[in-house]
Amino acid sequence: MMKLISFLFCVALLDVCSSHTLSFGDYSYKVSGSPAGFQVWTTAPSHKITVDHALPSGEKGSLFLSAARHEFEPLQVIIQGTTAGSCAVELEMGTVEKVGMHKGGFVDGLLDTLTPLAGMTTTGTTTTATLAVDGGSKQTVLWLTVYVPYTATVSGMQTGLGKLRLTPPGSSTPFEIPIDMYVYNFQLSAELNYVNHMTLGLTGTVHSDEDVAKQILFDHRMTPKGGATWPSGFNYQVAWETNSNPDKCSKFYDEPNESPPYSLHHLAPKYVKGEGWNCAGFPIHMAVQFVNNNTPRPTSFCGESVGSDPKGTPAYNAAWGKYIGELGKYVKDNGYGDKVFYYTMNEPQDAADDDTAVALCELSRSVAPDLMICVSEEPKPEIAERCAYDIWASALREYNQTYAWKRQEQGIPGERVWLYSLPQDPDPYPNPSQTDRQGMHSRIWGFLSWSLRTQGYWYYDAGTWFNNKNPTVRLELFREAWEDYEYLWLANGKKQPKPCTMTAADVPAFSVAKGLTDWTTNDDALMSLRHQLGLYLEGSIASPPSLVVPPSPPPAPVYINFQGSSPSADPLVVGGNTYVKMGWDAYDPGTGIGWEGQNIGTSIVKDGYQDTGSKDELWYSYLFDDYGRDNVFKYPLNPGTYEITVAVGRPGKTYNDKYNVVVNGVKVIDNYHSKGTGVDQTQASIVMEISSGLSVVWGGKDDGGSYAYTFIAWMTAVPSSAPAGPDNMVELECPKLNIPVVDERMKEPSCRPCFTESFCGTKAPETPLPPGQTYVPPTPAPDTAIPATPLPPGQSFSPSTVSPGTPSTQAPNIVADDGNSVSIPVWVPVLIIIIVML
């Protein structure tokens, strides 16, 4: 009888323990017990639903989210209500600070806008508001955001930490939903370790109050381009060539006698260094930028004309050099050297522009050798081999990773690459600015940037992430991306990645994003991985986690012929294999098959057929983009190891154009020159592990930087037992550079977990907190730290998981959801044995 009681006791514990190991489906489910005609459900925040989105099949009794200290975390709560009307909302979140409650709106058919709920008020730990439910079986989105303070005194699983009460329209009875939260026993850095540099207006776009606008941007891990010191600045209009300057065109002027809200002398220490603000400041600040693409500097400066050549006359350059020299000295003397930069030029178009970029670089280096300089261009030898820039801002589709990594591995001091996207970037390139793209286009950037070894993101019109001075879902997900990057930075021992060194942080990063066109779109899988990464960082599990996709059918061969109307044989059988005929069919999300590219659906993409009588039918048909643009073909292969073969070339004709094909981020055909070889067509194969389908980029720019034809013939994907080649960019790129790969992926990071960093004088816990123990931080300095929030009476840690700091002996495993996935803490079997012995 006692054995039966102990068994039932153990079974009862399983549900409590199950939230420690998350599985697929754990983020997309209906909330059980929802009132009739008022179905509440949830899904991952990066899953931008449609207004008539289908309900998930699974059910759970509570909502769940997880976060570290000093981290924001969104929760998407969705209501399918048959009756329209006002819904009373009450959110109680215990020791976790509440930040926002918004109603989601739809743009281009997908969730995008966020509008603060009406009548929102907060009393103690409870916030109330009113949500307008749309009714008619439409989905109404309630978007919640919480912030875990740096000084939070809880860690581990907090079962029932929060409660969400929703009163349906026409009802007086609230529906109460528990909110479980796992608080990781570490904190994100007070500083931003990734640069998210945005061009936008502060008061016109973000908030009418400049200081509030800056705080909103910092909280979203965004830096306003030149706006940190707005309405003052380091630029020559304010600090040099101005009548307010008593030493005009002679000495740097920081407005020392102006009122603090308008003075560089007061604004720079606060918002660049963080003094008297947040102890960190914005991570970067643009001091001065080019005038326009044709004239990088003003036509007249301090009485001197630039002349007909943008490189400037000697007299002009002397005047300009005086300003840049004094700017550099001021920046260095005041300790801003690692943050402030001069943006010299935008997108050099030709050799003459390259010469100008070099001349501006050389002038700056001669007068201000320590001042950082930036050019909007991908790293390229035409400029870099003549004068080294500190910051290269590259369009993501122009990014030359091999050369950029070569520069970084050569140890060019401080040299870094920022990427920027453009509205016209097609799938599967990540495009976070567009409302018609799924949320992973925003969320993926943290993992992707780590894999690419790029250190920043820049966008020319960041107002697109705001709507009526409210952040959009895209902006909220962008913040999630940069918080992901912070997790990886911590996993790397609080260090930025190096191109040819692999560390523990690369295990999750490469499993999520292998390249610009090869990254996961599985929202739930990413959320599960992120939770495991948090557990790894706090020390609850021993090994860095990898993304694992749901089980699928076994690998199966695929044969594809790219063609127009010919060959006409149906079915098309060659060599005993039946080939799928594929023209320029646009990508279909329903089948996962088709093309993406800027010219898809236009007459610019063409096909051809020529029977030369020398080969089989597969070689006679072809597709091509008449503008030579890169186009991506996607196909949903079952996961497994495959030998992928791609074939290119036009039958009977050779070209000076160089053909390129990239399969899942790996270049398989590299600038094949049919004219040079005298062979019209070629094929190449690679054995690789496929986890989430095929993504094949055909064509685009050649090694000379020009768009070139690539004639697309056929491809096959055949299951293989041969060992797969490298599946990460380090092992692919570094051998090309003759740089040895340093593999430290299983090496314990130098700092895991780390609890010693202070936040404005308030120090977080030094050691992991066991269940039931609280941490009381020292009294924060006035007006500089977030106040500590003690545990309310009667609340303690839940002993439902492995204590943070007690490593598991098993590597993390994110498994497919069978509805019964559980994780049993080590103390459960010990307790069972004790009970059985009784």
Minimum mean pLDDT range among 55-69, 368-382, 625-639, 799-813: 799-813
Q: Quote the CA–CA distance of 658 and 200 in Å, as a whole number.
A: 40
454 vs 429, more confident: 454
Q: What 3 state SS string does 690-723 have?
A: ECCCEEEEECEECCCCCEECCCEEEEEEEECCCC
Q: Structure tokens of 379?
A: 């790293």
pLDDT class of 427 with cuts at 50, 70, 90: confident
Q: Quote the CA–CA distance of 559 and 575 in Å, as a whole number.
A: 11
What is the rounded end-to-end Cα distance, in angstroms, of the chain? 11
Q: Quote the CA–CA distance of 646 and 662 in Å, as a whole number.
A: 9
- Structure confidence at residue 838 (pLDDT): 37
- Structure confidence at residue 551 (pLDDT): 67
- 75 burial (CB, 10 Å; 0-12 / 13-18 / 19+) is buried
Does 13 score more than 50 pLDDT?
no
8-state DSSP, 462? G
Q: Quote the CA–CA distance of 307 and 778 in Å, as a whole number.
A: 62
pLDDT class of 780 with cuts at 50, 70, 90: very low
Q: Quote the CA–CA distance of 545 and 509 in Å, as a whole number.
A: 9
Which contiguous run of DSSP H or E holds residue 671? strand 666-673
Q: Quote the CA–CA distance of 345 and 799 in Å, as a whole number.
A: 58
Does 710 score more than 60 pLDDT?
yes
Name every residue whose Cβ is closer than 8 Å to that of residue 547 and which is 6 or more positions away in sequence: 508, 511, 512, 520, 522, 525, 526, 529, 691, 814
Axis-axis angle for helices 827-837, 2-17 (nearest 10): 160
CA dist 755 to 97, 527, 601, 659, 786, Å?
A: 21, 24, 55, 52, 17
286 vs 226, more confident: 286
**HSE-CB of 163 using CA atoms within 13 angstroms:** 10
Q: Structure tokens of 154?
A: 């809880």
- Structure confidence at residue 759 (pLDDT): 66
pLDDT per position as a tens digit, 98-123 = 779 999 999 999 999 999 999 999 98
Name the residue among 407, 485, 405 with its Cα closest to residue 453.
405
pLDDT class of 752 with cuts at 50, 70, 90: low
Could you tell me if 515 and 663 are in contact, meaning their C-beta atoms sit under 8 angstroms apart? Answer: no
- Reduced to 3 states (helix: H, G, I; strand: E, B; else coil), residue 220 is coil
Name the residue among 532, 534, 535, 527 with its Cα closest to residue 545.
532
Q: Considering the chain, what is the average pLDDT of its residues?
A: 85
pLDDT per position as a tens digit, 471-502 = 999 999 999 999 999 999 999 999 999 999 99
Name the residue among 95, 166, 156, 96 with its Cα closest to residue 128.
166
Q: Quote the CA–CA distance of 468 and 749 in Å, as a whole number.
A: 44
Name every residue whose Cβ is closer than 8 Å to that of residue 454 and which is 6 or more positions away in sequence: 399, 404, 416, 417, 418, 419
pLDDT per position as a tens digit, 551-585 = 678 889 999 999 999 999 999 999 999 999 999 99
Q: What is the pTM of this model?
A: 0.83
Average pLDDT of the residues in 420-440: 91
Minimum mean pLDDT range among 300-304, 531-535, 780-784: 780-784
